[in-house]
Amino acid sequence: MKLKIKDMDIATGGPLVAVLNIKDAIKFDIHHLDRIKINKGKRVETVVANIAESSKVVPEGRIGVYEEVIDSLNLKKNDKVSIALARKPLSIDFIRKKLDGKTLNRKEIDQIVWDIVHNKLSDSELTFFVAACYTNLMSINETIMLTKAMVNHGDKLKLDKYPVIDKHSIGGIPGNRTTMVLVPIIAAAGLTMPKTSSRSITSPAGTADAMEVLAKVSFPISRMKEIIAKTNACIVWGGSLNLAPADDKIIGVEKTLGIDAESQLLASIMAKKYSVSSTHILIDIPIGNGSKVKNRQEALKLKKLFDEVGKRLRKHVSVIITDGKQPIGNGIGPALEARDVLWILRRDKRRPPDLEKKCIAMAGELFKMAGIKDSKGKAEEILDSGKAYKKMKEIIKAQDGKIFDPEDIKIGRFKFDVKSAKKGIVKKIDNKIIARLARVAGAPADNGAGIYLHKHINDKTTKGEKIFTIYSENKLKLKFAREELEKSPGVVVIK
């Protein structure tokens, strides 16, 4: 029996899904979430079956398919296909094994990752895998195998260079835009730094969002290699590449559940670095209010694990534990953060000293790892000489950008100043509330939206002095941000 294709005009974002009319499902003895094989000529794809109770959704004699299935089988409207009941993916048994607290071997982990990459697992099945690794932490051996499987089931950027420098921040701190300062410093010293960065999921801006204010960030690997050949570096969006693609799917589930499995965190970071040929990797673990890592004890435990994983993968890994009790830099939101970066690189008097200090320290650590003497002094010399700014302009140009001057960056035209109600000293700035205010104001979707901090912890303030300014690209979102501010009076504490 043949069924006609109906394009559902819906994408799942991952799993391969088809919808059968209930009468056809009964004929084939197919039930909700069964696997079925769809055959079109020599092409075959295994998908998850959903059942339509109404013929309005999918009439009898038709099969509704989602966009991922259409792309995989190259289907067109009214194409005829045959279907058959299929077995569930092999990895279901291995996920159940991990749920039972047992250890997985290399072949089992490899199969799970293959099924994730090829969209063979339903959302619930992938969620069970993530949950299993959260409740029954993977061993170091399992973490290494997961890292290698993630790399192997994706594309790789192969560079005939040594050393290849990289860094990663565990995250959770608004405004922590160190990458965009570090990359031009490192590249200006003649070292190679191919930086793939993320977009925001829950923060006011990711590095890719801020860099996109200045230049394009979406490139195929071939173009990425050309940019690196020209400039020694790049700052691109990792999501436009097929590097360790299983990682992105796992992260999506973790964000939904609000969890961060230790083993998957390690594998996630190291797989992305491994896939771009990184040899020397600096890991930044900020600790404090609003950060992913709450205290020094947790950070030291994570540091030990990174050291071990790096050693086992034959990578030079250095871990630093930094202060994450408040936002870093002044700007929070894509345009405001990009402006901070250019102010630092141009040595503008408005540059944020805390962000600059952190970047110099991190660059010094990376130079030390690469065997460069007077590492901290080298970073300052490259900044003060203008070499870092010159290199950033080269990178922006190579990535088809045109904005080199911070004054050309457009900031939201609607703003509201939050002022101090009394004289005193700033004792606390709530990272989570600041981030939420910036997002309600429109960041990161609206580049010019966000928050600009005029004060940081331990700064003195007088009554009526500006503490921070909320920027937005439209009046309504600014109104929403002000309403959110009224619900959260403790965003800044002054004593």
pLDDT digits (tens, 9 = 90+) for 346-399: 999 999 999 999 999 999 999 999 999 888 799 999 999 999 999 999 999 999
Three-state DSSP class for residue 487: helix
Q: Where are the alpha helices (DSSP H) in 351-386?
A: 353-369, 375-384
Measured in residues, the chain has a length of: 495
User: CA-to-CA distance for 267 and 306, rounded, in angstroms?
Assistant: 10
User: What pLDDT does residue 436 have?
Assistant: 94
What is the average per-residue pLDDT within 29-44? Answer: 92
pLDDT at residue 289 greater than cutoff 80 = no
The secondary structure element, H or E, covering residue 321 is strand 316-323
In CATH, the architecture of 2-86 is Beta Barrel (2.40)
List the structure tokens of 78.
């009214």
Note whether 345 and 396 are within 8 A (CB).
no
String of b and e for 344-381 (b: at least 16 CB within 10 Å)? bbbeeeebbebbbebbbbbbbbbbbbbebeebeebbee
Tokens 């030390």 sit at which residue?
A: 368
Q: What is the pLDDT of residues 63-88, one digit of tens each?
A: 999 999 999 999 998 899 999 999 88
Q: How far apart are CA 492 and CA 327, in angstroms?
A: 12
Give the CATH fold of the 165-406 domain. Pyrimidine Nucleoside Phosphorylase; Chain A, domain 2 (3.40.1030)
pLDDT tens for each residue of 145-175: 999 999 999 999 999 999 999 999 987 799 9
Q: What pTM does this model have?
A: 0.88
Helix, strand, coil: what percent of the chain each, to 5? 45, 20, 35
Q: Residue 13's pLDDT is what?
A: 81
Residue 489 has pLDDT above 90, yes or no: no
pLDDT of residue 153: 94
Q: Which of 377, 391, 370, 381 is nearest to 165 (CA)?
A: 370
Question: Any idea which residues carry the catalytic annotation?
Answer: 260
Residue 438 or 492, more confident = 438
Task: Report yes or no: 277 and 315 within 8 Å, Cβ to Cβ.
Answer: no
Give residue 370's pLDDT: 94
Q: pLDDT by residue (tens digit) across 404-414?
A: 999 999 999 99
| Domain extent listing, the chain | 2-86, 91-136, 165-406, 410-494
Q: Does domain 410-494 have CATH number 3.90.1170.30?
A: yes
